[in-house]
Structure 1
């Protein structure tokens, strides 16, 4: 019995010991897992290695080992700054070859002070993510499979360069707002960085005196916001997982986060795994709203494609000062988590996040092939063909109809002309991702792009679930063609042949193009031939060139080639058949390939007769695709391609038969009527290769159904684009390519092209020129965000630190202060009032002078007349929504001078030739010259473009209207106004170039402005209640008392990309509209 008791006691002791030691021996029983992790950490200020020590603990605790089966060491297993080494060896660099690494983990890339590693935010900082490093990481991710990238806060903020930031945010599929922040429970604690206090005192000219809790937000422009406990609820910043995050991490995670974070946005909201919620009350929300900042935003973002998976942690998650030395144990993290509850973000959130990612979230190779498929016919490769209606592609080795949903992509961006081919690979790559997310399946380019385009397209298609196809164009030298008026001219023909051959070599990754002005050049090594959906040669053919070519070559018989032939064709049509035949022959002979062929056409040279077209040139020539046939040797298919817009040519508005047409959606549509007529006239598939409307302030053409060329908001643009695409599909077209993907600042429009400097167009955004604003992608002023949003709020002005041009704090009524600033797009004015204004009774007038020695010096207001010792060239009237506009001195009215004095299309007013004649004119743009129809005449048409529209110009607002010129604050004590540069007769704001004296120098001449001289007068009922400067007793403004606004000239514009509201509307359309619906 004694013996039995001893055994039981012994076993009990063993059990207790085993239980107590189980965390250790259970860890020993676990299998180790080989995982090669590259850690990048440039912010190692001491031997704690705190920025990556927390990661090392997780790896070792979860028994991940290096390729030599050794555990990870925080001292050795990272690249970056090492404070224990000799000074010249302190910074270690990335290995040249990253192919062996499974995970690349970027912790803090901020850097250290070269003179004192314990200091931060000093002028001696060395750090930031190097461009060379991110390029190496990018190459590893795109050229190798099964890699995972993880990055944390301070990966792309200052001091990382713009180029490196662009690359890494591309890879992570997010955008940075430029803001960082941190919550402090005690604003008097020593944790508040000295540089934060110094910056606050410098910006606000006030001592740091905050107590209690607070939230500090800082942006990349050096502005700082402090939300005190008066704007905050109790509690810290809350971290919480989304449903998707719960699934990956195997649990919901809710925790307080108390360290630095940055405010980012995911390109795709479904990629968000966790969010932050700021602890703001109603007052705090109002402050955030003023700055356009969200209360809730992503904390963890996962991006996944075929090639790699990435994670971004918008905080210093691996940063843990007190990491236990012991890691060979099971359950320590859960014990730590339970005893710290929400107080340790590391144990409560970071460790389970990393465990979830390491177990379930590392990139796994997708063996399912989604690459574009090819097949062989008579030893020739093809990837597409056509039936009677559609292009077909191979899917699972079966020919399948493809409804083309795509966009046209130009070759320029702000600050460059097309011939400079300045778009970078990172920009192309980012755009392709956005286009893929649009549910588009095709893009079209008009000409040869630089090598970066083809590399980016190739790399994108290695990542994409579905390939993005390409229609490749070949541009003809338009200037030579117009000069020779003959497509067969040797100069035209030889140059076009060279372009066509270069195009074929380029798409097969086999071209070396020498540098030439105005052309893309370089080494083309990426074979994208299987992604080419079709080759579309040529341009919108000038009807006179077509007509003259046909007349010059009447004796040319029909063309009979190897792959193309013609029947009943004109000489011009035979020339097109020959060019396509020669292109196919070159590709077959050199590469054993054939691609679907087409040529560009447009309404002007379509095969229909338009009796109600008032301009004879718009209906003088025909290019008929039906006259061109393929031979039995061509297997890839042929289709017609047209550019079709709803507002041009003019017959689209006046054709009587179109007015009774009801489209498949039950709406009357002239555009739909034309589409139906055009489609029925063809015996082959027809692609609408261009369609769309611009989101621009200026207007050029009108449309009877409202689809005008200009003066459309982004929402209107999107809805009309959606409507047009639906009609294209309903009328059995092969699909449509929207014009355009991106805005093009270099473009001109016929009714504004005489009023700007053509050599400087790419350097500023002309809101009056609608051709510049067709894009789904807008280029807005400002590096990260627009400097000023016209939304009635003051905070963006405060953020910029703009001082008032005029200010009178003593006045009891009327105008309190006036602020002015400008950007690459417009002049922005802010007027603060002492009391809420009533725009039914209150009218504010701004007198603007830009050109010296002219302008109006006697100005009639609503009820009063004032005088000025300087000439006002423009009068801005701010009244109610129907009566607010900008007026121009009739002597300086370019519209009246141009169409009255020069072209004699409107009545010329005798008084307009005289300076200071007492008359202001509305600012107008021309819409149409006089039109003659078979049964009537349409008089000259113009519209008032100086009318100012009320609304909210902030894209973040639910009430956003991109046409907004005036916005009034909620308390009605502030008004913001935008004035597009062109409305002030400014030809090039980047050089302060303005129109000269029109009547002495003409439209062509210009002068440099000093700036804008500004005065203001406010009328209430029948009296003037305030003015800047003060009126003297003669009701006169003295020039000596006025203020001038001037601005810095610029060479390269500052801008940022923004997907327009129309992008999301078209995204819905491309997703919803499919074949068989």
Structure 2
């Protein structure tokens, strides 16, 4: 503990935690509340770890100016960033005094990993206190320390303390870490100089110590005070949620598919702190609050009946409940956001899913969330995040990436965690490599794959050429067709077969109704028909498999282990992949909440050229009659690649079948078939013969004798060299959400918030039944301009 200086002058308190809001001292000595309109300044560029930041002051100057133009008044830094960030902030605020950006500075805390997971451990606390001192000193431009693993460093000479709004220490605390800590100790008291926790649970006492140390250090070194808190999230909120079981109740055929993450076992609140009158800056509460998780957001009856200004809103129900707990203490929503992308990882009742949104749908969802934060009386809204980050992962895919730490080297369009940014960072130097627009110039330097079009019927379409290329996000094909005019594929079908591993593995029979074989085993086939594209995968190429769950009495998904392509079980079957977004849950009162799922088909159609018909950034394929081509970009993960930079595809570890691993493939083979809607063959590529079951080299049974066989092997194997971080090429693009949030942040304070008309929580009597959830209609359209007009 730091000792107070006896002759210490009265502290300087530039900002404080006031009533409902953080407050900034004005020139006349009064304090003015600020509604935080903030941005989480994510800074991990493609290929980089989250602790590998760019040392580019001009880049950060440009970003800060864009943030100011977006009407952000605060940036939140989770941890210590490079000196260039703070120099850029000082430059911005001195250059643009009418666009001041305040700072909420964080200090990341990795939970203790000692054998006993002790938060009181000396080594662990020494590390936390060292980082705390660094974080405080650098804000005052008074730090010089070296890089360490996981931590940046340098000479911090830019004093940004005039714009420091608050401290925000720590991270989202995992319940398991806290439960292990509580098993070690029953220490229930910490008496600090400014912040104490008396007769509280051990984690509260340690958090009080962490915050008290930082406050004391700032006072001793600089005689200043700023509000402080620790980071939190709904998983450790102070309320009880009866819909959340504290016991693991899920199982799968005696396997380990158990929901081990308990979302209602730990209750923490900064209100448990005892704050000394000498700490005049005070404390506030801070939470990361997304609409789609934990599940109790959707499963609590009270939240499912709550209405915001637009209708039923479970998110608003939770916010008002949490705000009621904190009363007039400022409650900052320090993270919220919605990612774009084709697939949701978790569903939400009002359609505010974890992914599965077009970039345009994100706008309406974010506007609604921002209004809910404003209307519930929260102290501010900090958007997550500024840029897309490739290193992030969602739970659906996290166990499959291999090497796990190399996921930062490639882009997974189907991982929502990679798509939160106001700025998209996507493969392609300066622009997309393939805009799915029929642009010949994008393909002029790409070689044609070997192969010939073979007519199987009279007046058949001609598969003139097939080109292939790849980048960090997709495997691209361009298929040129002649003697063909059915570009919406209403009367014809185009089937594209991918052989990604082991010529003898996979499925040799194409999906129905085609009665064709392939001379090389296929793992994935895309069929374009009736204006849509459908993906089929062989049964031996599953990421997950369905099973009859004995608890839920329904079909659920479990991870398919082992992942062996050579498995013979159901080898000749094809399936349309789907994911289980929400596993079922059993509440403490016995209420059963069924699972939810999402089908990956149909694959999105469109072009990446804004203004063209079918424009969407989610697009996977498109056809262009002018150029006479079909173009498709298959995301690596949908082809089974879990480390495309090394040509790695999913396989189980031979020695440990329950462990995910991968093997290196030599590349990708391609075969094509065109047929009528009934499945009658019209043309194939790259070659064809007739299968002879009597041939000594034949491996298939006599039931396939006489079938036409597409010679997929004639296309050769498309292969590529391993790429590393220095090989990555990407481009940035400002998403539409940036401009929508600019307009909303610029004027939301003109709207009278609902909380000013009285408490917004809408509790319900015990025993109230859960209302039926209506089917999702069209995404809610929010007319912010109309709301503003109503104010006048």
Q: TM-score range by the shorter chain?
A: 0.7 to 0.9
2:477 paired with 1:829: yes
1:919 partnered with 2:594: no
Pairing partner for 2:113 from 471, 476, 480:
480
State the 1:855 CA deviation: 3.5
User: 1:814–1:1018: 8 Å Cα contact kept in structure 2?
Assistant: no
Deviates further, 577-586 or 611-620: 611-620
Give 1:889 deviation, angstroms: 1.4
Q: Is the 8 A contact 1:923 1:945 kept in 2?
A: yes
Match of 1:14 in 2: none
Task: Give the superposition deviation at 1:476.
Answer: 1.1
The alpha carbon displacement at 1:423 in A equals 5.0
Q: C-alpha displacement at 1:822, in angstroms?
A: 1.7
User: Quick one: which of 425, 433, 446 aligns to 1:779?
Assistant: 425
Provide closer, same or farther for how the CA distance between residues 950 and 550 of structure 1 changes in structure 2, counting only shifts above 3 A: same
- Alignment match of 2:294 (pick from 646, 649, 654): 649
Match of 2:620 in 1: 965
What is the deviation of 1:927?
Answer: 1.7
- Report deviation, 1:551: 5.0
Aligned CA distance change for structure 1 residues 896 and 651 (closer, same or farther; 3 Å) = same
Q: Secondary structure at the match of 2:72?
A: coil
Q: What CA distance in whole angstroms lies between the structure 1 residues aligned with 2:39 and 2:547?
A: 36
Task: Give 1:634's aligned residue.
Answer: 279
Deviation at residue 937 of structure 1 after TM alignment: 2.8
CA displacement, residues 269-304 of structure 1 (integer Å, 9 cap, x when unaligned): xxxxxxxxxxxxxxxxxxxxxxxxxxxxxxxxxxxx
Distance 2:632 2:736 in 1: 22
Q: 1:484 to 1:1064 in 2, by over 3 A?
A: farther
Q: Could you tell me whether the CA contact under 8 Å between 1:855 and 1:915 is conserved in 2?
A: no
Structure 1: how far apart are the matches of 2:449 and 2:568? 35
Cα deviation 1:366-394 (Å, max 9, x = unaligned): xxxxxxxxxxx964333212221111124
Contact 1:647 1:702 in 2 (8 A): yes
Distance 1:956-1:756 versus aligned 2 partners, 3 A rule: farther
**Cα distance change on mapping 1:961 and 1:497 into 2, 3 Å:** same
Q: Does 1:675 align with 2:319?
A: yes
Give how far 1:1074 is off.
1.2
Q: CA deviation at 1:918?
A: 1.2
Counterpart in the other structure of 1:1030: 687
The reply on whether 1:545 has 2:184 as its aligned counterpart is no
With over 3 angstroms needed to count, the CA separation of the structure-2 counterparts of 1:565 and 1:857, relative to structure 1, is closer
Deviation per residue, 1:754-791 (Å, 9 max, x gap) = 2212121111111222212211111111221111112x
Which structure 2 residues correspond to residues 1040-1055 of structure 1 after superposition, within 5 A? 1040-1052=713-725, 1053-1055=728-730
- Structure 1 pair 956–1007 and aligned structure 2 pair: CA distance change class (3 A): farther
Distance 1:539 1:909, change over 3 A: closer
Q: Secondary structure at the match of 2:675?
A: strand
Q: Does 1:742 align with 2:398?
A: no
- 1:788·1:796 contact (CA, 8 Å) conserved in 2? no
More moved, 616-625 vs 544-553: 544-553
Deviations 1:5-44 (A, max 9, x none): xxxxxxxxxxxxxxxxxxxxxxxxxxxxxxxxxxxxxxxx
Q: For residue 850 of structure 1, what is the aligned residue in structure 2?
A: 500
- Pair 1:816 & 2:464 matched: yes
1:722 aligns with 2:367: yes
* SS of residue matched to 1:827: strand
Q: What's the offset of the Cα at 1:826?
A: 0.9
Contact 2:454/2:686 (CA < 8 Å) preserved in 1?
no
Q: Deviations over 1:928-956 (max 9, x none)?
A: 33321334334454432253112333346
* SS of structure 2 residue aligned to 1:619: coil
Contact map agreement 2:490 2:531 (CA 8 A) in 1 = no
Aligned to 2:604: 949
Q: Does 1:1009 align with 2:665?
A: yes
Alignment equivalent of 2:101, drawn from 457, 468, 484: 468
- Structure showing greater radius of gyration is 1
Cα 1:568–1:624, aligned 2, differ >3 Å: closer, same or farther? farther
Looking at structure 2, the residues matched to 988 and 909 of structure 1 have their Cα atoms a distance apart, in angstroms, of: 18
**Equivalent residues in 2 for 1:103-122 (5 A)?**
none
- 1015-1024 or 542-551, which deviates more: 542-551
CA contact (8 A) 1:424 1:452 kept: yes
Task: Say which of 619, 622, 631 aligns to 1:976.
Answer: 631
> Does residue 890 in structure 1 map to residue 547 in structure 2?
no
- Equivalent in 597, 601, 604 of residue 235 of structure 2: 604
Quote the residue 1:75 is aligned against: none
Instruction: Please list every run of 5 or more consecutive structure 2 residues that lacks an aligned counterpart in the other structure.
Output: 1-7, 248-261, 550-554, 691-706, 753-792
Q: CA deviation at 1:818?
A: 2.2
**Structural RMSD (CA):** 2.9
Shift of 1:730: 0.4
Secondary structure of residue in 2 paired with 1:710: coil
Q: Which runs of 5+ in 1 are unaligned?
A: 1-376
Aligned-partner Cα distance in 2 for 1:681–1:596:
19
8 Å CA contact retained: 2:463, 2:481: yes
Is the 8 Å Cα contact of residues 476 and 633 (structure 2) preserved in structure 1?
yes
Q: 1:827 to 1:803 in 2, by over 3 A?
A: same
Structure 1 CA distance, aligned partners of 2:18 and 2:108?
A: 27
Residue in structure 1 matched with residue 255 of structure 2 by the alignment? none
Aligned 1:437-586 pairs, distance under 5 A: 437-464=69-96, 465-478=98-111, 480=113, 484-557=116-189, 559-566=190-197, 569-586=200-217
What pairs with 1:297-376 in structure 2 (closer than 5 Å)?
none
The equivalences for 1:761-772 within 5 A come to 761-772=407-418
Contact 1:787 1:796 in 2 (8 A): no
Task: Give deviations 1:574-598, integer Å, cap 9, x for gaps.
Answer: 2222221221111111112111211
CA distances 1:297-336 after superposition (whole Å, capped 9, x unpaired): xxxxxxxxxxxxxxxxxxxxxxxxxxxxxxxxxxxxxxxx
Report the CA distance shift for 1:805/1:388 in structure 2 as closer, same or farther (over 3 A).
farther
Q: Which residue of 1 aligns with 2:770?
A: none
Distance 2:586 2:639 in 1: 34
How many Å separate the matches in 1 of 2:207 and 2:286?
Answer: 13
Partners of 2:447 and 2:166 lie apart in 1 by 53
Shift in Å at residue 959 of structure 1?
Answer: 4.9
**Following the alignment from structure 1 to structure 2, what is the Cα–Cα distance between the partners of residues 997 and 1004?**
5
Report if aligned partners of 2:647, 2:667 keep a CA contact under 8 Å in 1: yes
Aligned match of 1:797 in 435, 442, 463? 442
357, 368, 384: which is aligned to 1:712? 357
* Residues 49-104 of structure 1, C-alpha deviations (whole Å, 9 max, x = no match): xxxxxxxxxxxxxxxxxxxxxxxxxxxxxxxxxxxxxxxxxxxxxxxxxxxxxxxx
Of 563-572 and 832-841, the range deviating more from structure 2:
563-572
1:866 aligns with 2:516: yes
Cα–Cα, structure 1 residues 466 and 964, in superposed 2: closer, same or farther, change >3 Å? Answer: same
TM-score, normalised to structure 2, is: 0.82
How many residues are paired up?
694
Listed one character per residue, the Cα deviations across residues 1029-1065 of structure 1 (whole Å, up to 9, x for unaligned) are: 2322541122442333233432121111111122122
With a CA cutoff of 8 Å and minimum separation of 6, indicate the structure with the bigger relative contact order.
2
2:303 and 2:228 mapped to 1: Cα distance? Answer: 31
Residue 853 of structure 1: CA displacement?
Answer: 4.2
Could you state the TM-score of these two structures normalised by the residue count of structure 1? 0.61
Q: Is the 8 A contact 2:464 2:481 kept in 1?
A: yes
Secondary structure, counterpart of 2:99 in structure 1? coil
Q: Deviations over 1:478-514 (max 9, x none)?
A: 3527x54332222322211111111111111111112
